[in-house]
Amino acid sequence: AGLVTEAEGLRLHLAAGTATGYAGVWTTGKVARPFEAVAGGKRIGRFASVVDAAVCYARHLESGPAAAREWLAACDAKSAEAQRADSDKKREEAVASCAGKGLQTEYKGVQLHLAPGSKTGYAGVWLNGRGSGYRVALEKNGSRLDL
């Protein structure tokens, strides 16, 4: 597949022989945001898409740092929305999976936190080590409080 030469009404700056194919765009090695836009030796922002990083670089060159920051904010908002949608989808899938196993998803108006991969099906609920009953605990910041 060829490189995108225009996006968001801007001509993107191609750079043959670079890892990304775009001037001012580097790879970061980060999973969530593997591309970084850099201008004047300073990072402008990290992006999930190489084209978004290239657009940021082009905006920075053509309209200045404020325009680049606006694009970064728009990309961050788009990414956050995608993560929310993904999280909602995973929750729906977990609810369907657990409901198929006869687990309740709500009790007396309280949403129960499902953990489909666990033995009990619920987050924070373990089988008692003595072979009967359950143990409930809250986990926060690496600490566990048994209830």
Residue 122, Cα to own-chain centre: how many angstroms? 24
Please give the structure tokens belonging to residue 138: 């809250």
Closest to 101 (Cα-Cα) out of 87, 84, 118: 118
Closest to 50 (Cα-Cα) out of 21, 80, 8, 17: 21
Give 10-residue mean pLDDT values along the chain (147 residues). Answer: 89 94 92 90 91 94 90 88 83 73 82 80 79 75 74
Q: What is the pLDDT of residues 10-51, one digit of tens each?
A: 999 999 999 999 999 999 988 888 999 999 889 999 998 999
Name the DSSP class of 15.
Answer: -
Q: Which amino acid is at 98?
A: C
- Give the separation between CA 131 and CA 77, rounded to whole angstroms: 48
What is residue 58's predicted lDDT score, i.e. its pLDDT?
A: 94
**Report field, pTM of the whole predicted structure over 0.75:** no
pLDDT more than 70, % of the chain: 95
The set of residues, in sequence order, having a beta carbon less than 8 Å from that of 115 and lying 6+ positions away, is 121, 122, 123
Question: DSSP states of 45-74 as a string?
Answer: EEESSHHHHHHHHHHHHHH-HHHHHHHHHH
